[in-house]
Amino acid sequence: MEGWYIDPGYFNFHLFTMSIFVFVLLRFSYIYYWTGRPFGQSSTRCSLKTLIVLGSGGHTAEMLNLLVVLDMDKFGPRIYVAAETDNMSLEKAGVFENKLMADREKNYSKNSEHPKFMKIYRSREVGQSYVTSIGTTLIAAAHALWIIFKVQPQVVICNVPGTCFPLCLCAYFLKFVGLRWCSIFYVESIARVRRLSLSGMLVYKLHLADQFFVQWPQLYKEYPSAKYVGRLM
């Protein structure tokens, strides 16, 4: 009967591996079910720490136009993040926040915390090949993980810039390990009429966003899990 002997250590190892697999599967199922669903009204009674991802070119302008319609008393403190080589986006965000502070009665609570501005390693430079961007994306992901653990946002708002994908991925990881339930809102650029951007495609295919918005009906037909809200800007 020696051929039927099962090493207890071998059995315990496979039992442990199977338990980890089942736990991960159940955790992903739980997060997938609750992604995009409200947990209750308690979160709406207080301000939510919000991470806002900015991008070079017109992406920052689009994002700031989106922020104008938000109730800033509900989204704060606000932390703005831009690529380290982007010298203009954080400056524009600072001007935007100064305008809010100058109009406290309408848009800015006297008890609001001052916004913070951070830079992140860029995952992909303009014109950089997709092959070489793999390595830079991994570096950006490590930096993004540090930022996410440092900030621990409750809300992430982003649109197209490549810096948003590693941040969304790390925010999802934060949610998975149970450190902070972070709601991710992704708005595809108005310039994207028929196809998603690379960042949008990754966020959409991996189901990272709680709400994924597109601004053209052509995109909604191609990606029905998204939400078509018309042109926001």
Phi, then psi, of 109 in degrees rounded to 5: -75, 140
Give the pLDDT score at 52.
Answer: 96
Q: What is the DSSP string of 168-190?
A: HHHHHHHHHTTS---EEEEE--T
pLDDT of residue 50: 95
Non-local (6+) Cβ contacts of 3 within 8 A are none
For the chain, the structural domain boundaries read 47-228
3-state secondary structure of 21: helix
Model pTM?
Answer: 0.82
Contacting residues for 81 by C-beta, under 8 A, at least 6 apart: 51, 52, 53, 54, 118, 119, 120, 147, 163, 167
Q: Which pLDDT does position 7 carry in this prediction?
A: 57
pLDDT of 69 reads: 84
CATH node for 47-228:
3.40.50.2000
Beta-carbon count within 10 A of 201 CB = 14
pLDDT tens, per residue, the chain with 233 residues: 455 555 566 557 667 678 777 877 887 777 777 776 665 544 445 789 999 999 877 889 999 998 988 888 889 899 999 988 888 999 999 999 998 888 765 545 555 678 999 999 877 666 667 677 777 778 888 999 999 999 999 999 998 777 888 899 999 998 888 888 899 999 999 989 889 998 899 999 999 999 999 999 999 999 999 999 888 76
